[in-house]
Amino acid sequence: MRRIACLLTVLIMLLVSCSTETGKDVVLLDTGWKFSTGDDMTWGNPSFNDSGWDNINPMETWEKQGHKKYDGFAWYRIRQVIPRSMIKTAFLKDSIIFRLGKIDDCDQVFLNGALIGENGTTMAMNSLPSADFNKIWGKWDLNRNYVLSVNDPRIQWDKENVIAVRVFDFSGPGGMFSQPFEIAMPGLKDYVRFDLTSSPYDFEGENILKKNIVIKNISGKNEFKGNLVIRAVEQEGGIGLYTEKTGIDLTPGLIIDKQISFKTSFDKAVNLFICFTEATTGKQICDTVDVPRILTPKPPKGPRITGAKVFGVRPWSPFQFKVTATGEGRLKYTALDLPAGLKINEDDGVITGVLKKKGEFIVKLKVENHLGFCERDLKIVVGDVISLTPPLGWNSWNCWGLSVSDEKIRQSADAMKSSGLSDHGWTYINIDDGWEYMHDKDGNILTNSKFPNMRALCDYVHSLGLKIGIYSSPGRKTCGGYEGSLGFEEKDVQHYAAWGIDYLKYDWCSYSEVAPDPTPEQLKYPYQVMRRALRNVNRDIHYSLCQYGMGDVWKWGASVDGNSWRTTGDIEDTWESLSLIGFSQDKCSPYSAPGRWNDPDMLVVGRVGWGPSLHNTRLTPEEQYTHITLWSLLASPLLIGCDLTQLDAFTLSLLTNDEVLAVNQDPLGKQAIQVKKTGEYEIWIRDLEDGSKAVGLFNKTEKAMNIPVEMKALTLDGKCQMRDLWVQKDLGQVCRHFEMKTWPHGARLIRLSK
């Protein structure tokens, strides 16, 4: 039985991988491109002589081909015969598609001198070229597919055609860089679309999973009849959990939104497959996704104290620390041995006051509910260094981008509380770029109309027991083109302090106008200026350096009193970005310490978007386990980047595992080191305060694999107790060697103690 099920899975996988349709109905545009920087609208004309232009490979950005650091306009041109015979062999004969891959950042495409499309959207046939490109984030990541009718007079069948691409690059890499480059007749995949990712998974009761699946025919003309198969299969053993086979008639424009539901235990790895087979041709289009597994157990009903075990504060600074805890019903918070000058609010656990002298205090926290009580020590360190554990919070950028507003910040703070996240230690609500207006004639920083009253907003966030962060740049402008702090540092910080800001992200960006090729001293300088300003106000403000790792910032971030520093460029919600950033952090490990954190950028789980419209993260569920596991081991600030008002059960489970978060918050503050790296897997290990070790096993392949672990390589010998932190279960004793199963791009997180 098990065997048959396995065979079935393999068969389905084969079908999935067979779904690409290629044939004589495709003309490749991989080679033959000409290129010039600059801009001249006559370069779109077919008669223009481009023989003096450079050759260029469309697979690589122009930076990699002799145009280092070039931002601005550039043109690509190619000549290509389009054979009419393509139509004959094609399955669908009414239109033709120009596929030009991804283009960084914006493009306009001309066919024989006439505009056929721009910016990655299919354009109305006669639209005129826009005078310039709007700055729209994220366009670089769209596949350019420009569709024309086969009767379009702009196509020269059986003759040479000239395709000219006008590109504008705002910053970073520029130009064409990603396949496919081709002219093709459309296939089933261009019209029949599945959506397995937009709707959330509903985990009902103990074991019913519900999910909406959308099947669309986006063609306005073509009808497709055939068979639809939907299957849910448990990965281990290939056990079928759900099968549906139906004949369907996809009439033009039809959208089918159907719910499937099946029985499963929520911690099992399950694949969902969907296939449509067109009846007359047998052509097939398939898709598959991993169903998220929920590993985090529900917190106990009795009280449990969560969050940081150590808190740093400077003498005389206003003290705010919220004791966080889970538990059913009303919780009562008390603290024994609180130093003079502090008091705790019994209802919400917020400790406030002022401590005037340097020193260390151990406070005995107690949280009670109707089922019992729980106690834990909190160490308070009054000294120069704050943020003794990495900040846990949320930041607006990966979610709202520049469309952030007062209302969205309030909603996020409310959701931080109502979702229960704040009960697990999540504290900061950080406003990223997009709040600034200008400095007035007296040098006061003014907020823009989206933030009518910053002081009231900060008060509101504090009233929920949370903290609030803000963003600025040492340059004239921020990355988003808003007002920066250059020349106004002292005054800006006075405003931040008066408003009640607790966190500052300070983003290099247009400081490159001041220091285009910065020396090591120039890299530090603007951060020293801001550091002085921060020390001149009577408020503890977490100082987050954002300059993408330039000059190995991890080596000197502490010398400018940074509490954290970005070690990389911006993260994206893809495996490429996540794994490239995450697995390259070993070099920074020696420099991490309490109050001095390496920051590999914010989290990309949940619904993200960098602007007004959001999408579910493109990371698979297992990749999201890798993300949280690795970032916890790296002692990274954890800043959630998704819309907190739309958290689904899976995302919430990822962010509320107290044993995983305890690794991130471990008071020893030592970042994990990489102890094993092969092409297929990695093992990272982190020393914890109680002498135990947190170990992360990461599968970098696309297949499930057992990762072998030699205890010697972990500098552990002899018997150890092993605990699986995601499921919060003891796994017994291990001695010299053990193996653990990991899913594709997935992770395991265990703790080993003597």
- Contact footprint for ligand GAL (CB under 6 A): 397, 432-433, 478-480, 507, 509, 546, 570
* Smallest distance from ligand GAL to CB 406, Å: 18
* Smallest distance from ligand GAL to CB 172, Å: 10
Q: Which of the residues 54, 348, 570, 648 is marked catalytic?
A: 570
Name which of 90 and 404 has its Cβ closer to ligand GAL.
Answer: 404
**Separation CA 644–CA 396 (nearest Å):** 10
What is the four-CA torsion angle of 303, 306, 312, 313, rounded to 10 degrees? -50
Residue 158 annotated as catalytic? no
**Which DSSP state fits 71?**
-
Name which of 432 and 658 has its Cβ closer to ligand GAL.
Answer: 432
Beta bridge partners of 346: none
Name which of 13 and 550 has its Cβ closer to ligand GAL.
Answer: 550
Q: How many CB atoms lie within 10 A of CB 530?
A: 24
* Smallest distance from ligand GAL to CB 459, Å: 24
Could you give the 3-state DSSP secondary structure of residue 650? helix
Q: Look at residues 622, 578, 603, 605 and name the one whose alpha carbon lies nearest to residue 292.
A: 622
What is the distance, to the nearest Å, from the Cα of residue 172 to the centroid of all Cα atoms in its chain? 19
Question: Pairing state of beta strands 359-369 and 350-354?
Answer: unpaired
| Start-end of H helices in 536-620 | 553-556, 575-582
* Smallest distance from ligand GAL to CB 569, Å: 7
Q: Look at residues 692, 690, 630 and name the one whose alpha carbon lies nearest to residue 660.
A: 630
Q: How far apart are the first and last CA of the chain?
A: 42
* Smallest distance from ligand GAL to CB 602, Å: 7
E strand or H helix that includes residue 460: helix 454-463
Name which of 76 and 565 has its Cβ closer to ligand GAL.
Answer: 565
Q: Which of the residues 169, 507, 573, 658 is marked catalytic?
A: 507
Q: How many CB atoms lie within 10 A of CB 312?
A: 21
Name which of 63 and 666 has its Cβ closer to ligand GAL.
Answer: 63
Name which of 326 and 547 has its Cβ closer to ligand GAL.
Answer: 547
**Separation CA 71–CA 174 (nearest Å):** 7
The count of residues in the chain is 754
Name which of 348 and 570 has its Cβ closer to ligand GAL.
Answer: 570
User: Would you state the structure tokens that stand for residue 87, as one six-digit string?
Assistant: 């139509």
Q: Is 61 left (phi over 0), alpha (psi -120 to 50) or beta?
A: beta
**Separation CA 474–CA 527 (nearest Å):** 8
Q: Is the link from the previous residue into 105 a cis peptide, with omega within 30 of 0? A: yes
* Smallest distance from ligand GAL to CB 587, Å: 20
Q: In whole angstroms, how large is the CA radius of gyration of the chain?
A: 28
Q: Which residue is nearest to ligand GAL (CB)?
A: 479
* Smallest distance from ligand GAL to CB 433, Å: 3
* Smallest distance from ligand GAL to CB 68, Å: 20
Name which of 96 and 602 has its Cβ closer to ligand GAL.
Answer: 602
**Separation CA 698–CA 629 (nearest Å):** 9
Q: How many CB atoms lie within 10 A of CB 652?
A: 17
Name which of 136 and 734 has its Cβ closer to ligand GAL.
Answer: 136
**Separation CA 469–CA 542 (nearest Å):** 8
Question: Tokens 């916890």 identify what position?
Answer: 632
* Smallest distance from ligand GAL to CB 176, Å: 24
Name which of 50 and 432 has its Cβ closer to ligand GAL.
Answer: 432
| Burial of 625: CB neighbours in 10 Å, binned 0-12, 13-18, 19+ | buried
Beta bridge partners of 231: 243, 273
The per-residue DSSP string of 99-142 comes to EEEEEESEEEEEETTEEEEETTEEPPTTPPPPSS----TTGGGS
* Smallest distance from ligand GAL to CB 566, Å: 7
Residue 40 annotated as catalytic? no
Catalogue the active-site residues.
Answer: 507, 570
